[in-house]
Amino acid sequence: MRRTFPSTSASAARRASASAARAVAACAVIMCAVAAGSAVAAAPAALLAAPAAESQGVVRRDGRAMTWTMTYRLPAAAPAPAPGPTPASTTGTTPSAVPVPSAPVLKVPMRWVAYGGTRDATRLRRLAAGDAVLPVRSGVVTFQRRVRVPTAAPMSGGFCAQFDLTALGITEPATTCPTGPTATRDQLPARVPEVTVISDSVGSGLDYISGGRAKATGPWSAVFDLKVCRRLVAPPCPPNPPSALSVIQSMPGSVGDIVVMHVGYNDWGAVYDIGRLMTAMKARGVRRVVWLNLQAGAPSAPGVNGAIRAAAGRYRWLQVADWASFSAGHSWFVGDGDHVTPSGAEGLAGFYRAEITRAIAALQDQDGSPAR
């Protein structure tokens, strides 16, 4: 018989309060996944709310597709009662053990859906959906699915899983997935990480090497805005590109979960207003900022690096990427002390990728909005 997946409703929410103990005890079963770092003892109302982006596994960009991998560890089983006397047969004079049937394998039904599109879209299209029954093996359920996203542009997309937890004594789903032809990215608990890289002509050194941008961002959805003579907030020098602040404020669609900020070579400390950028990024839903300092030979390094150090003490979601230390001792720069050589571009690409990887890992321990 096909199982039904109950939907969350006002009446269901009222019923949830009557079964609070069972819901709290089972929170870790599925939705409080290891990847999310979620608290197990969540309130029943929280169980019905949309979880954070990492709470249903990992999604990676895979060419023009996205691959979703989730692994959930179930809570430890309750201690079994102490065994009683071994039953024996009455045949003959020597007792013999009676075979005990093995316990059935627990299976958890799941319904999943995938949505995707471009990063500048406000809503994503439904791409695929299906049902699965996941066996529990050593206390763990796993699932993987690859779905093509029909766009050559930087992609946005993700997945949602809705479980039937009846076998675990829970009648309400911990997550209710969207069912319409479109959905917003925020409705998807597992999403392709989105990164935006903003820099001046130093960052554009990535284009000096083959595949530099891909080397810098790896299996994530990335948008680059690299412009000569860019400044953080102040008016630029010719050819007058938009400031980093203007890019954040005007970018269509998603700015991303993570912004890599590598701007400051055309600035000076007195006008390097990091606070305005952080306010603007918070308003656009950015969850973590990777901010590169400047190498020691850069003329503007003292003032800019001092401003970055000060800002790191005010914003917990600002990750200082110490390019100055990483690049020290390498012959990676041309005569002006700012711009990179091709070997320096290789080093910069690897540094970007390592810092983005660190930022994505940090998001697992960082709750939702960066309003801190």
Give the residue-averaged pLDDT of 89-113: 67
What pLDDT does residue 103 have?
Answer: 60
Q: What is the pLDDT of residues 113-147, one digit of tens each?
A: 999 999 999 999 999 999 999 998 887 789 999 99
What pLDDT does residue 49 have?
Answer: 28
Enter the pTM of the model: 0.76
For helices 274-283 and 301-312, angle between their N-to-C axes, nearest 10 degrees: 50
Peptide bond between residue 173 and the one before it cis (omega within 30 degrees of 0): no
Q: What is the dihedral of CA 32, 38, 44, 49, to 10 degrees?
A: -90
Q: Is residue 83 very low, low, confident or very high in pLDDT (cuts 50, 70, 90)?
A: low
Task: Share the mean pLDDT of the chain.
Answer: 80
What pLDDT does residue 101 have?
Answer: 58
Is residue 39 predicted with pLDDT exceeding 50? no
Give the residue-averaged pLDDT of 71-100: 52
Is residue 9 predicted with pLDDT exceeding 50? no
Give the residue-averaged pLDDT of 209-236: 95
What pLDDT does residue 97 have?
Answer: 57
Give the residue-averaged pLDDT of 48-73: 72
Residue % of the chain over a pLDDT of 70: 73
Question: Cβ distance 24 to 44 under 8 Å?
Answer: yes
Between 132 and 43, where is the model more confident? 132
Between 5 and 250, where is the model more confident? 250
Is residue 79 predicted with pLDDT exceeding 80? no
Domain assignments of the chain as residue spans, ordered by start = 12-74+105-189, 194-363
The token pair at 265 is 């070579």
Q: What is the pLDDT of residues 308-350, one digit of tens each?
A: 999 999 999 999 999 999 999 999 999 999 999 999 999 999 9
The token pair at 351 is 């540094």
Give the residue-averaged pLDDT of 206-211: 96
What pLDDT does residue 160 have?
Answer: 94
What pLDDT does residue 71 have?
Answer: 81
What pLDDT does residue 51 have?
Answer: 33
What pLDDT does residue 352 have?
Answer: 98
* C-alpha–C-alpha distance, residues 204 and 163, integer Å: 46
> Widest CA span of the chain, in angstroms?
103
**Residue 14, C-beta contacts closer than 8 angstroms, at least 6 positions apart:** none
Q: What is the pLDDT of residues 261-312, one digit of tens each?
A: 999 999 999 999 999 999 999 999 999 999 999 998 899 999 999 999 999 9
What is the CB neighbour count within 10 angstroms for residue 116?
Answer: 28
CATH code of 194-363, in short, is 3.40.50.1110
